Amino acid sequence: MGDLFHEDVPFTYIDTVFKVMSGANWHTFQVLTKRPERMLKWTRQTLVLNEHGYLPNVWLGITTEDQHTYNERIEIFHKIG
């Protein structure tokens, strides 16, 4: 398993992945990341998300190793959507 929002993954590739997930709306996808700052940056510039800023069949989330990283990442994650 990889992190779609890793620094080496271009936003154009992330756009393509989300377009595929959007087209397969009979599935529910879960996208987790340790990099909510990149997820936030992508969500603010992409045209793939609907007018409400999300896709109903794609669940975004973060992963954390401990309480400290949770506290850091959740603040950034809450700014998404």
The structural domain count of the chain equals 1
Confidence of residue 50 (pLDDT cuts 50, 70, 90): low
Residue 24 lies in a domain: no
In the numeric block, the tokens 């756009």 are attached to 15
Tens of pLDDT along 64-76?
999 999 999 999 9
Domain of residue 44: give its range: 1-14+38-81
Residue 42 lies inside a defined structural domain of this protein: yes
Task: Tell me whether residue 46 is in a domain.
Answer: yes
Radius of gyration of the chain (CA): 12
Q: Residue 30 falls within a domain, yes or no?
A: no
If DSSP codes are grouped into helix, strand and coil, which group holds residue 75? helix
Residue 23 located in a structural domain: no
Q: What is the mean pLDDT of residues 2-20?
A: 96
- pLDDT at residue 51 in the model: 62
In a domain, 8, yes or no: yes
In a domain, residue 74? The reply is yes
